[in-house]
Structure 1
Amino acid sequence: MYKKGYFTLGNIYNIGKNKYIFIFSGEQYNIFFHTMKKTEKYKIKFSILFEWYFLFFSLYSAIIHSYYFSQMSSKKFSLPIILLTILLDIIGFGLIIPSLPFIIRGFGLGEHWVGITFATFSIGMFLGGIVFGRLSDMYGRKHILMMTSFLNMIGYIFFAFAGNIWFFMFARFLSGLGGAGMAIGQAYISDISTPGDRTKNLGMTGAMFGIGFTIGPVLGGLFGNGSHLILGLAAAVIIFLNFLIIAFFLPDIKNKHLEVSEESVSPMDFHHHKKQIYILFTLTFLLSIGFSAMQTTFPLLLADRFSFHEKEIGYLFGFIGIIAIIYQGFLIKYVRKILDERGMILFGFSALILSFSLFAVNPFFLGIFVIALFPLGQGSINPAIGSLHAHYAGKEVGKALGTNASMLSLGNIVGPFLAGYFYLIWNGAPYIVASIFFLIAFLFVFFGLRNVEKR
C-alpha cells in the first residue's frame, strides 16, 4: 500500500495498469480509466488543481473582506444589517406558529399543551433577557448576539428531532434563551440612533416583525404539514444564516453603553428614573399577557370555529404582517409627528381593547377588519416603550431592554396558561380577558406617565 506521505498534493500517479491515484487535500482518490493519454492526464490534473486553489483563495478572500466590512462602524450599514438579523429571527419563529397546535396533537396531547409550549419558550426568553441584556452592556452587542443566535439554532435542531414532548419542551426552552437576542438587537439600534430618530428606528423593528410574521407563518403553513422535522430544520438553516451575518457583516459598534458601571448588577436596579422604568416594565408585562393569550389560542380558534388548517392560518398571519409592515414601516413616522410616546401608547392600548373585545363576539368576516387593529396597537406601543427606556435608562439601556424582554417573557408565561383555561370555557373568553389587561395598562399610562416630557 502507498502512504500519503510518499505523494505530492495535487499530483496523479500511475499505480497499476489503467489505474491512477490523485492526491487531493491529504487524501487518496482512485480514478479508473480504460485508457488515459498523457494530455488527458495533465488536463485532469490542472483542472482539479485549479478548482482546489480557486476555492481556497475565494474562501480566504471572502473571510478577509467580510472581516474588514464588519469593522466599518458606519450607521449606513449597521442599521439595515441589524434589522435583517431581527427579520430572520422572526421568520424562524413564525415558521412553526401555524403548525404548533397540530404538532402538539400529533404527540397525542390536548390543547392546553399549546399554552405550556408557549410558556416554556417564554421562560427561556425571560432568563435570557436578564442575563444576556446585562452581558451585552458589559461586553458588546455583537458577541452576545452571536451567542444567542447559536443557542437559537441548537434549539431548532433539537426541535426537529424531538421524539417526545419533554425533549420538544427542552428545545423550545433553548430557543427561548436565544430569542433574547431580539431585545439585544433593539439595544443595538438604540446605540446607533439619535434621540430624534430613536422612535422611528425602533419602529422599523416592528416592520421587521410584520415582514417576519408575513413570510414565516405563510411558509410554515404551506410546507409544514404538521411536521416538526421539516419546520425545525428550515428554522435552523435560517438562524444559521443569521449567525453568519452577525459574525461577518454586523459592525461591532463601540459606544458609551459599554462603560456601564459594575456597581449595579441587579436587573431591576437603575441609577435614574426608577419609577418611570418600572411603569414601562409593568406595561410590557400586561401587554404580553394579553397578546400571548391571543397568540396561543388564535390558531385553535380558527381551527375550531372556522375549520381552518395550517395553510389558511398562515395566510391570516400573513395578512396581519402586511398591515404591520404598512403601519410600522411607512405610517408610524407621521403618527409620531402628532403624538409623543405617551400618546402613542394610549392610542395603541385603545386599539387593542377595541379589536380584542370585538373579535371575541364578531363572526369571522366582520372580525377580519377588527384583526387589522392588532398590529396597529402593538406597533404603536412597542417602539414607544423602547424609546422611553432609552431615554430614562441612559447608558443602562441594554439592561433595561433586556429586563423589558424578560417582563415580556414573564407575561408570555402567564398569558398562555390563562388563555388555555378560559378557552375551555368559551373560545372567545381569552380575548375578553386580554382586553381587561389592556384596560389596566391604559390606566397605568394615563395616570402614571402623565408627566412624560415631549422630545
Structure 2
Amino acid sequence: MQKGLRSPLLPIFLIIFVGLMGFGIILPLLPLYAEVFRAKPATIGILAGSYSLAQFLVTPYFGALSDRYGRRPILIISQVGTVLSYLLLGVAGSLPVLFIARLLDGISGGNISTAQAYISDVTEEKDRAKAFGLIGAAFGLGFILGPAIGGLLSQGGHYGRAAFAAAALSLLSLLLTIFLLPESRTAELRKQVRQPRLIDMAGVKQAFGIEQLGLLLIVFFVFTFSQAGFQSIFSLFGERRFGWGPKQNGLLLAYVGVLAVLVQGGAIGPLVRRFGERRLVQSCLLLVGAGLAMTAFVTRWPLLLLTVLPLGIGASVLTPTLNSLISRESPQRDFGWIIGLSQSAAALARVAGPLVCGPALQYLGTPAPLLIGAGCVVLAWVYAMRLHEPALPASDPRFRKA
C-alpha cells in the first residue's frame, strides 16, 4: 500500500455512491420499461443478462489495463460509456434500442471492479474488509435514493425521464473522478505488468490453480447467480404477488439499501475481528438461503419486510467479505486483473441468473426463481466449507498489530 493514500477512500466513496444512485434509478424500472414494448418475462431476463454478458467479456481486460496504465484513466473511460448508455436509454423507442443501451453500459462497465482494485491499492490487508464494507455502504446509500427517485420520476410510465436523471448522476460521478481522485497505482508497479490481453486463458488457469482463490471465485459466482436471478425478476414478483408498481418496488429496494448501509457502514469491521472472514462467509450464506426460501412463500407485504431481513443482512456481509478475501489471495501486481476476473465471474452469473429465473417465473410460477436461488446458495455454502482456517483474525498474523 502506498503511504498517505487513505484519504482517497472519501472520493471513491462519493464516486461509487453517485454512480450507484444512477444505477439504482434504472434497475427496478428496466423490466417495466421493457414491458412497454411487449417484452415477455423470458425476454426481460435476456435483457437483464445482456449488460452482464458484455461485462463478462471485457471486465478482466479493463482490470488488466488499470494494472498497466493506472486506475484513474480506466475509471474515466468507463464512466463516459455509462453516461452515453443512459442517454440512449432515455431516448429508446423500441426494445432493440434498450438492448443496445444495456450492452454499451456493460462494455464500458469496468468502473466498479476498477474502484475495488483502487481500494485494494490504498488499504492494508487487515483493514480491507472494513474498507469494502464502507464502499458497500455507498452501494446501499445509492440504492436507498436511486430506486425511490426512479419510482417517483417514472410515475405514469415516464421511464425515459428516469434514465436522463441516471445520466446526470453518472456525469456527476465522472466529474468527481476527474477533479478529486488521485492515481493509486505507482509507476513501478505498472511497469511490472505485462501487456494486457483481451482473452487471457493462461491467466484464468493460473488464478483457478490457486486453491483458495479458485474456491472463492466459485463461491462468488454461485452466490451472485442466486442474487441476480432474484433481482432481475423482483419487479415482476412484486407486481404479481402484491400488485405493486414502480413506486412500491422502489421503496422496497430502498428498505434493503438501508439494511446494507447499517450493516456495511459500521458492522463489518467488528464482525471480521470477532469471527473472521471465512466464518462470516459460511454463516451468511445460510442466512441468504433462508431468506430466499421464506420470501418465496410470502403472501403479505408486511411479512416480506421480515423475510428480506436475513437476505439483506447476509448479502450485505457477504459481498465485501468475499471481495476482501479475493484481494488477499491475489498478488499485488495483478490486483486489477484478479478483481476484474472475479467481477467477470459475477457478470457471467448475472447473465445466467436472469436467463434461468425469467423462464422459471413464466413457466413454473412466482416462487420458482427464489427457490432456485436458495438451492444455489446451499451449493455455495458447500464450497465455502472447504475454505481454510484460521477463521479468527487473532490467530492470523496478518491481523496482528505491530
Aligned partner of residue 75 in structure 1, secondary structure: coil
- In structure 2, do the counterparts of structure 1 residues 368 and 204 end up closer, same or farther at CA, with 3 Å as the change threshold? same
Asked if 1:303 is matched to 2:239, the reply is yes
In structure 2, the partner of 1:134 is: 64
Contact 2:51/2:105 (<8 A) preserved: yes
In structure 1, the partner of 2:347 is: 409
Asked if 1:317 is matched to 2:248, the reply is no
What displacement does 1:449 show?
3.9
C-alpha distance in 1 between matches for 2:61 and 2:99? 21
One-letter amino acid of the structure 2 residue matched with residue 409 of structure 1: A
Contact 2:32/2:235 (<8 A) preserved: no
What displacement does 1:357 show?
0.6
- In structure 2, do the counterparts of structure 1 residues 260 and 303 end up closer, same or farther at CA, with 3 Å as the change threshold? farther
C-alpha distance in 2 between matches for 1:322 and 1:250? 27
C-alpha distance in 2 between matches for 1:390 and 1:258? 18
- In structure 2, do the counterparts of structure 1 residues 224 and 359 end up closer, same or farther at CA, with 3 Å as the change threshold? same
C-alpha distance in 2 between matches for 1:443 and 1:330? 28
Contact 1:272/1:392 (<8 A) preserved: no
C-alpha distance in 1 between matches for 2:258 and 2:266? 12
C-alpha distance in 2 between matches for 1:451 and 1:337? 12
- In structure 2, do the counterparts of structure 1 residues 145 and 263 end up closer, same or farther at CA, with 3 Å as the change threshold? closer
In structure 1, the partner of 2:378 is: 439
Unpaired runs of 5+ residues, structure 2, are none
Higher mean C-alpha displacement, 385-394 vs 406-415: 385-394
C-alpha distance in 2 between matches for 1:251 and 1:277? 29
In structure 2, the partner of 1:392 is: 329
Higher mean C-alpha displacement, 95-104 vs 194-203: 95-104
What displacement does 1:167 show?
1.6
Aligned partner of residue 296 in structure 1, secondary structure: helix
One-letter amino acid of the structure 1 residue matched with residue 386 of structure 2: F
Asked if 1:373 is matched to 2:310, the reply is yes
Contact 1:341/1:388 (<8 A) preserved: yes
Asked if 1:294 is matched to 2:230, the reply is yes
In structure 2, the partner of 1:27 is: none
Asked if 1:233 is matched to 2:164, the reply is yes
Asked if 1:194 is matched to 2:130, the reply is no
Residue of structure 2 aligned with 1:88, choices 15, 18, 39: 18
Residue of structure 2 aligned with 1:243, choices 168, 174, 178: 174
Aligned partner of residue 191 in structure 1, secondary structure: helix
C-alpha distance in 2 between matches for 1:260 and 1:391? 19
What displacement does 1:322 show?
0.4
Aligned partner of residue 7 in structure 2, secondary structure: helix
Residue of structure 1 aligned with 2:8, choices 74, 78, 81: 78
What displacement does 1:272 show?
9.7
Contact 1:360/1:429 (<8 A) preserved: yes
- In structure 2, do the counterparts of structure 1 residues 309 and 397 end up closer, same or farther at CA, with 3 Å as the change threshold? same
C-alpha distance in 1 between matches for 2:174 and 2:7? 17
* Identity within the alignment, %: 26
What displacement does 1:365 show?
2.2
- In structure 2, do the counterparts of structure 1 residues 263 and 141 end up closer, same or farther at CA, with 3 Å as the change threshold? closer
Contact 1:93/1:216 (<8 A) preserved: yes
Q: 1:102-251 residue pairs with structure 2 within 5 A?
A: 102-225=32-155, 226-251=157-182
Q: TM-score, normalised by structure 1?
A: 0.80
Q: What is the number of residues matched between the two proteins?
A: 384
Superposed CA offset, 1:317-346 (max 9, x none): 110000110010012222112111111111
C-alpha distance in 1 between matches for 2:371 and 2:164? 37
What displacement does 1:380 show?
1.5
What displacement does 1:73 show?
8.5
What displacement does 1:388 show?
1.6
What displacement does 1:116 show?
1.2
Contact 1:293/1:416 (<8 A) preserved: yes
Q: TM-score, normalised by structure 2?
A: 0.91
What displacement does 1:180 show?
2.2
RMSD: 2.0
Higher mean C-alpha displacement, 332-341 vs 312-321: 332-341
What displacement does 1:260 show?
3.9
What displacement does 1:386 show?
1.4
One-letter amino acid of the structure 1 residue matched with residue 24 of structure 2: G
Contact 1:270/1:393 (<8 A) preserved: no
Residue of structure 2 aligned with 1:335, choices 248, 263, 271: 271
In structure 2, the partner of 1:422 is: 360
Which protein, 1 or 2, shows the higher relative CO under an 8 Å CA cutoff with sep ≥ 6?
A: 2
C-alpha distance in 2 between matches for 1:281 and 1:73? 30
C-alpha distance in 2 between matches for 1:249 and 1:73? 18
One-letter amino acid of the structure 2 residue matched with residue 246 of structure 1: T
Superposed CA offset, 1:29-56 (max 9, x none): xxxxxxxxxxxxxxxxxxxxxxxxxxxx
One-letter amino acid of the structure 2 residue matched with residue 383 of structure 1: P
Instruction: Tell which structure's C-alpha radius of gyration is larger.
Output: 1
One-letter amino acid of the structure 2 residue matched with residue 229 of structure 1: G
One-letter amino acid of the structure 2 residue matched with residue 248 of structure 1: F
One-letter amino acid of the structure 1 residue matched with residue 175 of structure 2: L
Contact 2:293/2:374 (<8 A) preserved: yes
Contact 1:257/1:397 (<8 A) preserved: no
What displacement does 1:258 show?
2.4
C-alpha distance in 1 between matches for 2:61 and 2:91? 28
